[in-house]
Amino acid sequence: MVRIEGIPIEAEYFKSYIPSKIDIFISSIGWEERCPIAWNQIKENKINVERKIIFFYNEVLDKKDPFKGTDCREKNITEFSSMFDLNEKDSKLFVQMLDESTGLKKFQDLLENQYPNISEMSIVFDFSVMVKPYFFILLKLLSIHKKVKKIFLLYTEPKTYVVKKINFEKLDDAYFTKGSNTPPKDMLSFSGCLDSLKADVLVILLGFEGQRAKEVTNEINPDVIIPINGFPSYRPEFKDISILLNDEILKETEISKNLQYAPSNNPFETKNELSSIYQNKKRKYNISIAPLGPKPMALGCCLFVLENPECRVVYPYPQEYNPKASNGYEKTWLFMIEFDYSV
């Protein structure tokens, strides 16, 4: 077991919390403008980083750059390497977005070969453009398996999301993903421990893809559904868009009356909300969670499940991730996470 505590800190204050020297900086590439912002914050605050580990998604490298018209893989590698100021000490991990199992193995091998004492190291982890299954499994590896004592997580908010003209008959193509590869399934290494004698509760962290939520509810077919919407949200209209795009499940009275809220940019409030649900339901229900909302809320889900591994995480894996899901950027947040393994 592990007990996790943390606080959110706005970027302008995080120099007071992050050490002046960091052993490892972890991030990933993406065509969103917010991709390098957390790294830029590290540089601007003159924080010395010993080594960087950057996940280079093949799907991003092989896509045409929506900003500069580049579609050459080698040029893209060079551009992203320059974006993160990579040198010979740093590591580029070439992985598939939809194959976090292989990505995890590459990361694990790298740690074992080059960072045998990682539990004693200082780590900054930017998950702004990292796909959710990746940062879930990486945090589990670093905490539960490597016993890292503290991690500094960075997240840059989007200014707005890239929105196609929404076809309400085809919501699965509206925002971040395209279609489903398979029916929703347990996230790798987060299957929980379900009791066949208990009923099922599904908690859905609502996002902008209502079709995803519908797919999950149809697959799980739970006895109780508890939606959690992001409020306050990054922008005032986001909470209303989320409700509108999840109308298919929220129009059911039994579900809409269970609607709860947690701030979009505070993972610890989401974690607390999930802990409250768990305490109220655990005697009679298995708990499954679908993290379909903003990444800080998904982080709250991850932290909660690391503390309560009997709960499971369900995720609707897509056929393809959109390479550019947001435009612009707003605040960068620091989430300082401390792990207590003595409990």
Q: In sequence order, what DSSP letters do the residues of 257-313 get, joined into one string?
A: TT-EEE-TT-HHHHHHHHHHHHHHHTTTEEEEEEE-S-HHHHHHHHHHHHH-TTSEE
Contact 24, 115 (CB under 8 A): yes
- On whether both 258 and 313 belong to a single domain, the answer is yes
Torsion sign (Cα): 201, 207, 212, 213: positive
Rounded Cα distance, 152 and 268, in Å: 14
User: In which domain, by residue range, is 19 found?
Assistant: 3-160+326-340
Is the residue at 166 inside a domain?
no
- On whether both 332 and 300 belong to a single domain, the answer is no
- On whether both 151 and 242 belong to a single domain, the answer is no
* b/e code 136-159 from CB counts within 10 Å (16+ = b): bbbbbbbbbebebeebbbbbbbbe
Contact 216, 316 (CB under 8 A): yes
The three state secondary structure string of 62-85 is CCCCCCCCCCCHHHHHHHHHHHCC
- On whether both 236 and 294 belong to a single domain, the answer is yes
- On whether both 274 and 141 belong to a single domain, the answer is no
**What CATH number did the domain enclosing 237 receive?**
3.40.50
Q: Three-state DSSP class for 188?
A: coil
Is the residue at 94 inside a domain?
yes
- On whether both 156 and 252 belong to a single domain, the answer is no
Is the residue at 86 inside a domain?
yes
Which one has a higher pLDDT value, 246 or 257? 257
Rounded Cα distance, 271 and 297, in Å: 8
Q: What angle do CA 13, 157, 329 make, to 5 degrees?
A: 100
**If pLDDT is split at 50, 70 and 90, which confidence band does 174 have?**
very low
In the chain, the number of structural domains is: 2
- Residues of the chain with pLDDT > 90: what percent? 68
Q: Is the pLDDT of residue 317 over 90?
A: no
Rounded Cα distance, 198 and 287, in Å: 10
- On whether both 108 and 147 belong to a single domain, the answer is yes
- On whether both 240 and 264 belong to a single domain, the answer is yes
Q: Is the pLDDT of residue 248 over 90?
A: no
Q: Is the pLDDT of residue 12 over 80?
A: no
Is the residue at 165 inside a domain?
no
**If pLDDT is split at 50, 70 and 90, which confidence band does 165 have?**
very low
Q: What angle do CA 9, 15, 17 make, to 5 degrees?
A: 60
The three state secondary structure string of 127-180 is CCCCCHHHHHHHHHHHHHHCCCCEEEEEEECCCEECCCCCCCCCHHHCCCEEEE
Residues near 40 by beta carbon (within 8 Å), at least 6 away in sequence: none
Predicted TM-score (pTM) above 0.85: yes
Residue identified by tokens 């929105």 is: 163
Is the residue at 170 inside a domain?
no
**How large is the average pLDDT for residues 267-276?**
97
Torsion of CA 27, 32, 36, 40, to 10 degrees: -140
Cα–Cα distances in Å, from 329 out to 84, 287, 292? Answer: 17, 34, 20
**If pLDDT is split at 50, 70 and 90, which confidence band does 324 have?**
confident
Is the residue at 174 inside a domain?
no
Lowest mean pLDDT among 200-214, 244-258, 305-319: 244-258
Average pLDDT of the chain, as a whole number: 89
- On whether both 256 and 308 belong to a single domain, the answer is yes
- On whether both 187 and 156 belong to a single domain, the answer is no
Q: Is the pLDDT of residue 132 over 90?
A: yes
Residue identified by tokens 């701030």 is: 263
Q: Is the pLDDT of residue 336 over 90?
A: yes
**How large is the average pLDDT for residues 258-272?**
94
Give the model's pLDDT for residue 160: 83
Q: What are phi and psi of 332, to 5 degrees?
A: -105, 135
**If pLDDT is split at 50, 70 and 90, which confidence band does 168 have?**
very low
Q: Is the pLDDT of residue 70 over 60?
A: no
**If pLDDT is split at 50, 70 and 90, which confidence band does 15 have?**
confident
- On whether both 138 and 218 belong to a single domain, the answer is no
Is the residue at 14 inside a domain?
yes
Is the residue at 172 inside a domain?
no
**How large is the average pLDDT for residues 226-252?**
79
Residue identified by tokens 């509810």 is: 217
The model's pLDDT over 93-121, given as tens digits with 9 standing for 90+, comes to 999 999 999 999 999 999 999 999 999 99
- On whether both 144 and 293 belong to a single domain, the answer is no
Lowest mean pLDDT among 11-25, 112-126, 237-251, 289-303: 237-251
Task: Report the half-sphere exposure of 339 (CA within 13 A, side-chain side).
Answer: 23
Contact 106, 114 (CB under 8 A): no
